[in-house]
Structure 1
Amino acid sequence: MTHAAGVYATLNDWIAHEAIPFSLDSRPDFNAAVDTVIDSLGDSVALLGFGEGLHGGEELLVLRNQLFQRLVEAYGYSAIAIESSFPRGPIVNEYVLGHGPASYEAVLDTGLSHGFGKFEANRELVEWMRQYNADPAHQMKLRFYGFDSPTDVITDSPRQTLHVALDYLNSVDEALGQEYQNRIDPLLGQDSAWENPAAALDPTQAIGRSAEATALRIETEELIAELRVR
């Protein structure tokens, strides 16, 4: 990380010279490696991305956890977003803030998509964030987000996302918020209808073309317009 781009003849040469060795078994060793990377980025980086090409492996999740902990404790990072359902993210976020359910088991399926809640490293991440936030000495509270769009074979009911928006509207205009909620809630129906995996291969089983879904789309657009002026 000390040379300009193009100095090395091959990718292997670049890796051989620029790789930063570390061990997850030694926290000081790992922290020193993270510090080297962060120091090379300068002060302008506010959002740091960490990619991985493997789903289902615990090792990279353990690496991610230790990286996030170092970024929080040494550099003031305050949030993490993982490749899990965006609409479900607030459920986990409420848990790490000390609200909502009292145990991780209550959010591992509802708050994380694709079965990711069952990975032990994800449990460790969420529990560490909750413990960090519970310490009154930590005035800056950590936040959890999902950024995956629920538009593949696994879909999510819009209930969670709409209720986040409705909760905000209720907080600034309770009467209007309740009016919208009274119109929207009956149109949501059962979550299972929105989350039916068979609809991915058979459009006739999808709820999207129903009269209720059409009416819900109109109500949602009106809600968005209302929120934009708030």
Structure 2
Amino acid sequence: MTHAIPTYATLDDWIARETCAFSLDDPQSFATAIDQMMASPGEQVELLGLGEAFHGGAGFLTLRNRLFQYLVQAHGYSSIALESSFPQGCLVNEYISGRGPASYEEVQQRGFSHNFGKLEENQELVEWMRQYNADPAHAVKLRFYGFDSPTDNIDGADSPRQVLRVALDYLSSIDKASGQRYRSRIEPLLGQDAAWQNPYALIDPAQSIGLSPEAAALRIETEDLISELLIRRPELGARSGPDRYREALQFTSEARQLLNYHAELARTSDERIARLLGIRDAMMADNLAYIVAQERERGKVLAFAQNAHLGRGKARMQFGADLYEWWPAGAQLNAMFGPRYVVIGSAVGVSEATGIGQPETGTLESLLTAAPGPARLIPTHRGQGLPASEIAALPTRSGSTKHPGYFTLTSDSLAEFDWLAVLDATTYSRGGPPLLERDS
């Protein structure tokens, strides 16, 4: 059922009529705000995205934790996916299921990319999921996923060894001879992991091995392995079960795109950086589509990442004099899922710890934080019904003096997100990377 979108005379009119205030410390006001938000898109939503304005904001992380807990308890959600390495996330899922490592410290580094395992709120989330799953009263056990591509780790893009090994082990477990045949062709081409993971390849294409003869041959072998899995889908899926089959196919597809990424690293082109960013986000979207398929019979999925990855419009990044544009995961998901994908963007008024001062008068953050708080949700209607001339004239607030990964709201945010979650203020999470002073 479609609902008529109201028309608002001004942005202040929209904010006054639509804002739903809540506090993260008041369960009742929080539940009321979330229930109101969840009622608007209906039951068709399979994937809900929650963006963060910058990595490490304690308020955004706490909002995510409270939101996921409430969605599990009241709205049929069964899993959460974080902007962290897809292959590494499997270890965290083993931990919350009561298998694998015995303590969080054992998954803190190996289960997350970007050092995200050190964030205090991530440990809180994981431990809550583990406790939830340990309760026999909960028939549907929660699952944890990473959905980031293995291309953006601190030490450089991953070697394809790990993702290919998952597929090879799977095939060998069902057909030992076939698995060994593919393994004997693939493993000699992998070489040393350090050569793939050279962090300097990002700035110097000559240091990448992505277009070497061995890498080219490995791409062909990976395509052959994908074909093997697809040709034998009825047999393999019946023998292993659909979940294991889909997992093996997804890891092999991840290897294909990872090899494409390494090939792009080795090229010299004006479009090189934008294409690398685009490959990463396309992999994110494919991983989330896989996760939704895995969860479809169990429940719905909450995805959490930086705003720029989850919005529906083109992503833009200024680096010196160069402006890079690419389609982020949110735009890809919008094309794949349509109304089954809904996304919340987040914003903050002030964050002294990260060098974010009071928003300038007339900016979107200033208008929204003037409404009752200390936090609020507001539907954007994707810009429909809002005064176009006032939106076009919106100034953009200043950025952060300490956190280069902070992205402000813009007039485009109203079309890119279904809802905005706006906090008055946030601190910086314990465990976050050191913040640096910058000139501007």
**Into which bin does the TM-score normalised by the smaller protein fall?**
0.7 to 0.9
Q: In the alignment, which residue of structure 1 is the partner of 2:196? A: 194
Query: How many angstroms apart in 2 are the aligned matches of 1:62 and 1:143?
Result: 19
Farther off after superposition, 63-72 or 164-173:
164-173
> How far did residue 76 of structure 1 move?
1.5
Equivalent residue for 2:211, pick from 209, 212, 216? 209
> How far did residue 4 of structure 1 move?
4.4
1:157–1:191 Cα contact (<8 Å) kept: yes
Question: How many residue pairs get matched?
Answer: 228
Query: How many angstroms apart in 1 are the aligned matches of 2:104 and 2:194?
Result: 23
Structure 1 SS opposite 2:82? strand
| AA matched with 1:212 | E
> How far did residue 218 of structure 1 move?
2.0
| AA matched with 1:23 | S
Q: How do 1:177-192 residues align onto structure 2 when only pairs under 5 Å count?
A: 177-192=179-194
Query: How many angstroms apart in 1 are the aligned matches of 2:200 and 2:7?
Result: 53
Q: How do 1:49-198 residues align onto structure 2 when only pairs under 5 Å count?
A: 49-152=49-152, 154-198=156-200
Structure having the higher strand fraction is 2
| AA matched with 2:72 | V
Q: Which runs of 5+ in 1 are unaligned?
A: none
> How far did residue 67 of structure 1 move?
0.4
Query: How many angstroms apart in 2 are the aligned matches of 1:194 and 1:106?
Result: 25
TM norm structure 1: 0.87
| AA matched with 2:106 | A
> How far did residue 39 of structure 1 move?
2.0
Query: How many angstroms apart in 2 are the aligned matches of 1:190 and 1:126?
Result: 33
1:87–1:156 Cα contact (<8 Å) kept: no
| AA matched with 2:206 | T
Query: How many angstroms apart in 1 are the aligned matches of 2:217 and 2:205?
Result: 19
Q: Deviations 1:100-127 (Å, cap 9, x if unpaired)?
A: 2222222222222222111111111122
Q: In the alignment, which residue of structure 2 is the partner of 1:39? A: 39
Farther off after superposition, 106-115 or 73-82:
106-115
TM norm structure 2: 0.48
Distance 1:31 1:189, change over 3 A: farther
| AA matched with 1:88 | Q
Query: How many angstroms apart in 2 are the aligned matches of 1:159 and 1:141?
Result: 30
> How far did residue 155 of structure 1 move?
1.5
Query: How many angstroms apart in 1 are the aligned matches of 2:187 and 2:173?
Result: 18
Query: How many angstroms apart in 1 are the aligned matches of 2:73 and 2:147?
Result: 24
Q: In the alignment, which residue of structure 1 is the partner of 2:223? A: 221
Query: How many angstroms apart in 2 are the aligned matches of 1:15 and 1:162?
Result: 50
Query: How many angstroms apart in 2 are the aligned matches of 1:32 and 1:121?
Result: 23
Q: Deviations 1:141-172 (Å, cap 9, x if unpaired)?
A: 22222222334574222223222322332343
> How far did residue 42 of structure 1 move?
1.4
Q: In the alignment, which residue of structure 2 is the partner of 1:11? A: 11
> How far did residue 194 of structure 1 move?
2.0
Structure 2 SS opposite 1:220? helix
Query: How many angstroms apart in 2 are the aligned matches of 1:174 and 1:135?
Result: 38
Distance 1:157 1:129, change over 3 A: farther
Distance 1:204 1:83, change over 3 A: same
Farther off after superposition, 17-26 or 91-100:
91-100
Distance 1:179 1:140, change over 3 A: farther
| AA matched with 1:38 | M
> How far did residue 175 of structure 1 move?
2.9
Q: In the alignment, which residue of structure 1 is the partner of 2:246? A: none
Distance 1:155 1:166, change over 3 A: same
Q: Deviations 1:159-203 (Å, cap 9, x if unpaired)?
A: 232223223323432332233234333433333322221111122
Q: Which runs of 5+ in 2 are unaligned?
A: 234-440
| AA matched with 2:83 | E
Percent identity reads 65
Distance 1:216 1:49, change over 3 A: same
Query: How many angstroms apart in 1 are the aligned matches of 2:196 and 2:104?
Result: 25
| AA matched with 1:155 | A
1:87–1:146 Cα contact (<8 Å) kept: yes
Query: How many angstroms apart in 1 are the aligned matches of 2:93 and 2:113?
Result: 14
